[in-house]
Chains A and B, each alone.
Chain A
Amino acid sequence: MNQAEVSKLMSQLRVSIPKKPRRLRNPDGPEGRLNKLRKTVSALVKHERIELNSARAHEARGYAERLISEAIRHGDCHKATMDMANFWMVEKQLVHKLFKVLAPRFVNCPVSYTRMYKAPRQYPGPVTEIRRAVLELRGNPYPPVKPDMTQNRNLIHNVLLDEAKKQYRYEKYAQIAAKLTAGESKAEAKSTESADGNQKEHTATVEEPVDTKEEK
């Protein structure tokens, strides 16, 4: 087993990349296409949120993800990565941003580094309208594009947290009740009463707080 793991040799991206690169129409051919994509990736790194054609956004997204991923893996002392950064960043002050800001920001990011949304279109609009998209880096300082739904009570993790909270309360109440009854039984034992009657009271008092919580 001397063969290297192929998955370790390449950056694993968290976005799906189409099998064939898009042929973005350009009068200068493939070279013009790359220049356009360079500009787009640079703008994304610079502004962290841009609105552009859907096709170009999707194409540029893959390149941006790959670039950030390489920057995280190899750092700024790796010549090939630095050359790549030099190629993709049209404005050279962004090379600093890539290695000093974005790489530390995304070093522990378990999901994709960018997000893409479909921008609203004119209604009803022409049938041949060019679709727009919003492309952004995660962790940007701007207001969120989509509303924050983490406070929604019906989200599964909120439901689970609520249940956990409830259960924790039941346990606490049960403990308190047990303590109280223990104190009572001691007092009752001192006053020389029958043990059978005490046990019945024990169970009744333990169950009481649980019932009251359920009713609420």
Chain B
Amino acid sequence: MRTLFSALVATTILAGAAQAAEIYPLDRATILTGSPFDFKAEFSAVVKPEDVKITVNGQDYKAALGKEVEFVAEEKNKDKVLGSAVILRGVTLAKAGDYKVEVSAGSETKNVTWNVYGTPEQAKAKNVIFLIADGLSVAHRTAARIMSKGMTEGKANGRLNMDDVPPVAFVGTSATDAVATDSANTMSAYMTGHKTAVNAIGVYADRTPASLDDPKVETLAEALRRQTKKSIGIISTAELQDATPAAVVAHTRKRGDKAEINGMLFDVKPDVLLGGGSAYFLPQATAGSKRKDDKDYIALFKEAGYTLATSKSELATAAGTNTGKILGLFHTGNMDTTLDREFLKKGTVSKFPEQPGLVEMTKVALDNLSKNPEGFFLMVEAANVDKMSHPLDWDRAVVDTIEFDKAIGAAREFAAKNPGTLIVVTGDHTHGVSIIGTVDDDKPGTEMREKVGTYAEAGFPNYEDKDGDGYPDKVDVSRRLFLNANNGPDHYETFRPKLDGPFAPSIQNEKKEYVANEQYKDVPGAVLVTGIIPKSADSGVHAVDDIVLQAEGPGAEGFRGYMEQSDVYKGLAEAFALGAKQTN
């Protein structure tokens, strides 16, 4: 045992000292047969092209990879020379099995093993509806159930739609460069089958600073276009260029490349595209544009046969058209939360009063996509669950979880009538949020902290849903759920829903540090909560905890037990038989 241990230590030290080469795809990558990807090897030294040796399963690489690599003598970060590299774009491996790839040059060597997998010839599912609530944690689900349905003597008074979709897997969400994670690399893993680095989408993160040259992997949308004639739909309450919707189609090291991502959406042309982010469709001369060129993507999509909808009513009209292609843009930025849109009329609702909700968008998309006899893939994202969990605005996050659940209801209704439909329900990562009890305004005193009920003192919240719409009639009831994050910036805890607009817990000072937003200081009973993460952080952060994945319908058996996020792609690829050409 001791010998083994010291041997391990020695290997680790050697690896560190030699600054070995790096290979993309990384070791233990899982790759769909026939799915194009870019191969890259980076050396830490400048080497001669004739010294570079690459083998695949012991043979010269050209037989397996099909073509010759391009040699880059010096990769640079500004003036700093990073070393030489070889790159080969658009490689495909047709045969399933393990591929041991060995690269050497001078004193540097590196080997990785890729697992290439095939799929059955026959698809199990005609349609897949992939419903994702960004940041969906267990607390969001529990709170949504209690707020929507109520609870008596410890038993829920009703069930959410998601409560009847079997939980089948725990998903690990860590990135290739960190145990922690973000929505770019997480959704990218779902949509490509490759894990990648924080902020990256559809690529492995190489060392060069350019964000659009990193080694690409195929996205699900691209695989569907390559192998099938299925329709593709993308719905999000965020900007359509935001990480989650982007990952269905895009390739960039930096999720912030939103103007470029918009172009990638156009390249793939999903048949139904509904959400926010019109700012990236507008040419720079138009006020409100966030582009830095003159491209008018509104015009380009229209020329490509899309019916444009910019409001709830236009969406209803577009749903009746027969073009088969709908572009729905309902906000220049992220769409408002359900709580603001439907109830409080805060946020930006006065500027964009005609935004549809996630359920309407889902129904229109399902109606439209299901006209294709070949079937479809639809991604539905409830973005505000995450966007409101960051600023610790739990009421908005939970009400959007209820809306997400209603979208699941619409999907299940569709699946009941269309039995070839696989439904997957999950989040992309979690937040450090939990419910610890209630806040009861009627407890004695003025100190809000003393009105927090835990254990038996919590009692039950008194939300009501008299109109039966599934949403609590109001969130500011006298005894309400108390949700809390295990991290955050300095902020004032007010113990109350933020009825005047989304919570802004912290603001930046002249030292670029985030400090508690004084605006909430004078809310009666507010308590200063000192942050426990760096002062550069403006909001609560993602958690590293596993997320729950639920699935039902044909192909649901592809998701079981603990899965890496990248394994989820394999489940989707098998359900759709993406290893087999279906376009004859």
Chains A and B bind each other: no
Q: Which residues of A contact B (CB under 8 A)?
A: none
Q: Which residues of B contact A (CB under 8 A)?
A: none
